[in-house]
Chain A
Amino acid sequence: MSLSMITPEFLIERNLERCIKCQVCVRQCANEAHRYDAETDTLSCDDLACVGCHRCVTLCPTKALTIRKFPLEFRTNANWTPDAIKAIYKQAETGGILLTGMGNDKPYPIYWDHLLLNASQVTNPSIDPLREPMEVKTFLGRKPEALEIKDGKLKTKLPPQLELDVPVMFSAMSFGSISLNAVKSLAAAAREAGTFFNTGEGGLHQDLYEYGENAIVQVASGRFGVHYEYLNAGAAIEIKIGQGAKPGIGGHLPGEKVGKEVSETRMIPEGSDALSPAPHHDIYSIEDLRQLIYSLKEATRYEKPVAVKIAAVHNVAAIASGIARAGADIITIDGFRGGTGATPLCTRDNVGIPIELALAAVDSRLRSESIRHQVSLVIAGSVRNSADVMKAIALGADAVYIGSAALLALGCHMCQKCYTGKCNWGIATQDPNLVKRLNPEIGARRAANLLRAWKHEIKEMLGGMGINALESLRGNRLMLRGVGLTEKELEILGVKAAGE
C-alpha cells in the first residue's frame, strides 16, 4: 500500500488519573477510535478514526476524555487552507467524488444575523403573551380570491389546508437517511406540537401510518415507496424537485443502507442502490410539473394540498412563479445551507443561494404578480432558532421547515459524517445497535420541547412588537431592519437599514 497522507482531524486526550478503564468509550465508538488491549490492560486511541461526535466524552463516567482539533499546522496560507490541501490528498488517493453530510459550513454571509426585529416603545404598547391571547396558528394551502360570508358562516369552499399550531415543521428526512427511531421521534413530536413531519423520498414505514395526519408524504424522481395508500396516508403531498444541500443533482442511498426495513418501506430489494436521479423524467417544463401536480390531486381526489419543493437557485423567483401557476398549493424553498445525509462537497459548498434572499425575492415576485395568495411559502435551509423563524415570517414565509435543528434536538453533534452510516447518536444510521441508542419517546419529548420553547419565544417577540397574531407579521418587512448590508442587499430583502 502506498503512503497515506491523511492526518487526523481530532486529537483524543485521555486523562489517565481519571480513567477507570470501564471501556464505555470502546463500546460507544462505532468508528473504533478507542481500543482496549486485555493483555496489557491498557486503552489506546486512534485519532484518525475520530469524527468529533462527542459520544465518548458525553458518556465517559469520570469525564476523562477531551477531544480537540488536531494541532497540526500547515505553513500559513490564506489560499491553500488545510481543508483544501487535505481534500486533494483524499482525491489523489481514491479518485472519488468527495462526499459529505449536513449543510454548507463555509463562512458565507448569514443574512438572519444582519436582520433585526422591531419592538414597541411608548406608542403602540407591547403585549404580554402570558396574560393576553396570541394567535400563532398557521394555515398552509391555496387561499381563495375572496371570502363569501353569509349569516356569520363562511360560504366559500376553501381549498384543502394544513393547520399548524406552530409555524415550524420537520423537514423531509427519509427513513434510510435517518433511522426509524429518529423518524418516529419527529412524527410523535409533530403530533404533540400540532405540526407536520415530512417523509422524505423514502416511503412511509408501516409503524408510521398511525402518524399519517401529521405526515407530508414526498414524491421524488425515484418514486420510492410511492403507491396509492402512501399518497392517501399523509395530510399533504410534496413533490421534490430539489434540495438546498444538492441543487441540480439527485439522491443516492447506497445499497449498504438498504436493509430489511428500509427495503420494505422503499419497496426495493435489500442491498440494491436506491437512485433518485436529478430530474423527474416526466418533467421538462412548468406544464409537465402541472401534470404531475394534477395527477397527484386526481389520485387523492383533490382532498390534499400538493407542495413543490425546490432548491434556492439563481432564478428562484421566476421558477416559483411558474410553480404557483402550475397549480401547487405550497412552495417549499430550501436554501444553500440546507442539510442532507449525503452530498458531494463541491455541490454542497458552492451551489445555490442564501434562503433569506431567495425568500424575499420569491415573496416580492409573487406579490407583484398578484398570485401570492395562490400558494403558501415554506422555507428551509437553515433556521436555527425562533428569531430566525420570526425573521423568515416577516420576510414573507408562511412557515419554516427545520431539519438540522430538529436532529440537534435528538442529539446530533454536527460531525457531518451522516453518510458513513455510523452515527453514534443513533440518528443517521441503520445499524440496529446504534439505532437503539435513540429512544423514540425521549427523542419525541426533546423535539416537542424545542417546538414548545420556540412557540413561547415567538409569542414573546410578537408581543414585544405589539402584535397579537402571527398573521400580522407575515410579509411585514417594516418589522425588520438591516445591519451591515449593501444597498443592493437591502433592496432585495426589501428592508430598510437600521436607523432609517
Chain B
Amino acid sequence: MAVIDAQGVYYKELNQQIHELINKGETYIKVINVNGQRYIGDGLPEGIKLELIGTPGNDLAAYMNGAEIIVRGNAQDGTANTMSAGTLVVHGKSGDVTGYAMRGGKVFIKGDVGYRVGIHMKEYKDMVPVMVVGGSAGSFFGEYMAGGRMIVLGLTGSSHLVGDYCGTGMHGGVIYLRGEVPEYKLGKEVRMEQLTDEDKNFVAAYVNEFASYFNYSAEEILDHKFTKLIPYNTRPYGKLYTHY
C-alpha cells in the first residue's frame, strides 16, 4: 500500500501522483487529507483500490472502469459520472447528479444524496449499474432513467425518501424505495408497484452488501415494506411527431 498526502496539492498533480504509482504497479493507494480535489479515480481500471480520507471533489470516479474506491468522508457533485464498472463506497453523503449516465458497477452511499441523482442511468445486457442510497434523495431522482437499479433506504431520519419529480422522463430500470412515496412526488412516466420475489432477492443481496460496508444490520433494514417504481413504457415520446 502507498500513501499520498493530498494536503494543499492541486488536483492535477494529485491525480498525476496516483497515476504514476499505478503505472509503477501499485494496486492499493491511500490518499489522506483529501480536500476537494476533483476527478479522483477517473477512468481507473480493475485491480486498483483507492482509499480516500477526507472530502474528494466533483467527478469522483467519473468514467471509472473497474477500480474500487472507498471514501471516508463525504463526496461532492458528479460522483460516478458515466461510470462503467467497479465499486464506490462513500461513508457519508454524495452531492448532485451522482451516477449521471452510469452504465455499470456499484455505488453505495451511506448518507443522503443531492438532486438529479441517477439521471440517464442506463443498462445493456449484463451491464446493470446499481446504486444504494442509505439516506434520502433530492428532487428529480432517476430522471430520464433508462436502465439500472437504484435503492433508497431512508436510514438518516429525513422526513422524505425522495424529493419531487421522482422518475420524470424515466423509460427503463427500476427504483426500489424502503417505504412509500406520495403520488404527487412521482413523474408522470412512472408507477408504483409491489415487489416480486425476484425483486426481494435482488434488494436483499444489495442491502446485505450495503450493511456490510457501513455496519448496519441487514435484517433490520429489510424488515420493512419496500415499493418499486417502474416506467409505464419504454417509449415515452413515441407519438409526439408527424412526418412533414
Which residues of A are interface residues toward B (Cβ below 8 A)?
87, 90-91, 93-100, 221-224, 226-229, 231-232, 252, 254-255, 263-264, 267-269, 271-273, 275, 277, 281-282, 291, 294-295, 298-301, 344-345, 417, 419-420
Within 8 Å CB of A231, what residues of B?
43, 63
- List the count of A-B residue pairs having beta carbons below 8 Å apart: 142
B63 lies within 8 A of A281 (CB): no
A462 to chain B, nearest CB (A): 41
Partner of B238 from A93, A254, A298 at Cβ < 8 Å: A254
Within 8 Å CB of B237, what residues of A?
252, 273, 275
Partner of A275 from B65, B82, B146 at Cβ < 8 Å: B146
Q: A99-B241, A268-B122 are in contact. List 13 more A-B contacts (CB 8 A).
A: A90-B243, A99-B243, A221-B120, A226-B101, A227-B103, A231-B63, A267-B103, A268-B124, A277-B169, A281-B119, A291-B78, A295-B78, A299-B43
Minimum CB distance partner of A90 in chain B: B242
A273 lies within 8 A of B235 (CB): yes
Chain B: number of interface residues, binned into ranges: 35 or more
Within 8 Å CB of B240, what residues of A?
96-97
Within 8 Å CB of A224, what residues of B?
122
A273 lies within 8 A of B124 (CB): no
B42 lies within 8 A of A295 (CB): yes
Q: Does B27 touch A at the CB level, under 8 Å?
A: no
B225 to chain A, nearest CB (A): 30
A-B residue pairs in contact (CB < 8 Å), sample of 12: A98-B241, A223-B122, A227-B103, A228-B63, A255-B234, A269-B124, A269-B234, A298-B15, A298-B62, A299-B62, A300-B43, A419-B241
Q: Does B127 touch A at the CB level, under 8 Å?
A: yes
Within 8 Å CB of B244, what residues of A?
87, 90, 98-100, 345
B97 to chain A, nearest CB (A): 5
Partner of B43 from A100, A228, A275 at Cβ < 8 Å: A228
Within 8 Å CB of B143, what residues of A?
281
Which residues of B are interface residues toward A (Cβ below 8 A)?
15, 19, 38-39, 42-43, 45, 58-59, 62-65, 77-78, 81-82, 84, 96-97, 100-101, 103, 116, 119-120, 122-124, 127, 143-144, 146-147, 169, 171-172, 234-244
Within 8 Å CB of A254, what residues of B?
235, 238
Please report the C-alpha to C-alpha distance between residue A268 and residue B116 in the assembled complex, in whole angstroms: 20
B118 to chain A, nearest CB (A): 11
A301 lies within 8 A of B19 (CB): yes
B127 lies within 8 A of A267 (CB): yes
A282 lies within 8 A of B103 (CB): no
Please report the C-alpha to C-alpha distance between residue A291 and residue B39 in the assembled complex, in whole angstroms: 9
A228 lies within 8 A of B119 (CB): no
Please report the C-alpha to C-alpha distance between residue A264 and residue B80 in the assembled complex, in whole angstroms: 22
A277 lies within 8 A of B239 (CB): no
Minimum CB distance partner of B65 in chain A: A228
Please report the C-alpha to C-alpha distance between residue A291 and residue B169 in the assembled complex, in whole angstroms: 25
Within 8 Å CB of A229, what residues of B?
65
Within 8 Å CB of A252, what residues of B?
237
Please report the C-alpha to C-alpha distance between residue A282 and residue B99 in the assembled complex, in whole angstroms: 11
Minimum CB distance partner of B97 in chain A: A282
Within 8 Å CB of B96, what residues of A?
282
Within 8 Å CB of B146, what residues of A?
268, 272, 275
Minimum CB distance partner of A302 in chain B: B12
B234 lies within 8 A of A272 (CB): yes
B242 lies within 8 A of A298 (CB): no
